[in-house]
Amino acid sequence: MLIRAFVVAVALSWYLPAAAQNKLRTVATFSILGNLTAEVAGDLADVAVLVGADIDAHTYQPRPADARSLAEARVLVSNGLGFEGWIDRLAKAAPFKGRAIVATAGVPTLEAAPTPGHNHAHGPDPHCWQDVGRVRQYVANIAMGLAEADPANAAHYRDRAEAFDRRLADLDTWVKQEIAKVPAEKRKAITGHDSFRYFAAAYGVQFKSPRGYNTGSEPSAKDVAVLIRQVREQGIKALFVENMTNPGLIDQVARESGGIVGPRLYSDALSGPDGPAPTYEKMMRHNVTALVAGMLKN
């Protein structure tokens, strides 16, 4: 028995490293995409994330370790639409020679709202993941790309994507049902930057923000004053700070308008594993629950 146990242990010690080496080495640009990719890939891929939890991908500065990760990867999953302005340079520098998946391929986009004095606001808004319906296309794109990179396991990726898609369809229905609890005239909220336009279009909520969609931009004093006046005149109480945004601006709007700052929202990044939004599905449920509670106070 002891000899047999020893033989099994030795066999496992040889098998486990080989199994790990056979996993599809995949890099996702930021935490939300990392979670979506891991859900589709399951245990057949090793998914590394460049921009982790609670970190802003807009202003991220790649590190040498990121180039090494890309050089060793067989798959790169990015959002596209200019969200990761640094990814093309990084992929070239690595260099990356694998299969590139752009998650927003074929996803209908909205034009970014113009922000006075900031040219970056022109073009498509990249925050498509704030609409669960559009994320279903993300998942289909990821599954197709993984299958092309790893044809032997195409059925695995397809099956997991289909199961994930069913959960997302249920999530989309739940979001609509929750938002419907708020009277239409009360569906208004203030956020730190303009990253919820897809949510607004899909679920009928009006969002206002002192910033454009890029967190690196700064609003003028005039823009902030206009927003404060709107909040006062419309009686908006639901004010929110996103997880990677400096809360000072929203705190100022709240002080001068009589608004109430609600729980932190997760717009461009997930929380850490111990936070309220460690996965995309939990992020959406957290955000919707916080928004509904806040808007009902309007």
Q: Average pLDDT by consecutive 10-residue portion of the chain (298 residues)? A: 38 43 92 98 98 93 96 98 96 97 98 55 88 98 98 98 98 98 95 90 91 57 77 84 73 79 92 97 98 94
Q: Is the peptide bond before 95 cis (omega within 30 degrees of 0)?
A: yes
DSSP 208: E
pLDDT at site 52: 97
**Tokens 């938002």, residue?**
179
- CA–CA distance, 32 with 114 (Å, rounded to integer): 25
- CB within 8 A of 288, min separation 6: which ones? 174, 175, 178, 179
pLDDT at site 216: 53
- CB within 8 A of 210, min separation 6: which ones? 192, 193, 219, 223, 224, 227, 249, 253
**Tokens 């998942």, residue?**
139
Helix, strand, coil shares of the chain as percentages rounded to 5?
50, 15, 35
| Tokens standing for residue 229 | 């006046």
User: Which residue blocks in the chain are alpha helix, DSSP H?
Assistant: 2-22, 31-41, 64-72, 87-93, 132-149, 154-179, 197-203, 221-234, 248-257, 280-295
Closest CA to 191 of 171, 168, 219, 233: 219
**Tokens 């391929």, residue?**
105
The structure's pTM equals: 0.86
pLDDT at site 11: 41
- CA–CA distance, 138 with 85 (Å, rounded to integer): 19
Closest CA to 53 of 296, 298, 274: 274
| Whether the Cβ atoms of residue 247 and residue 241 lie closer than 8 Å to each other | yes
pLDDT at site 211: 55
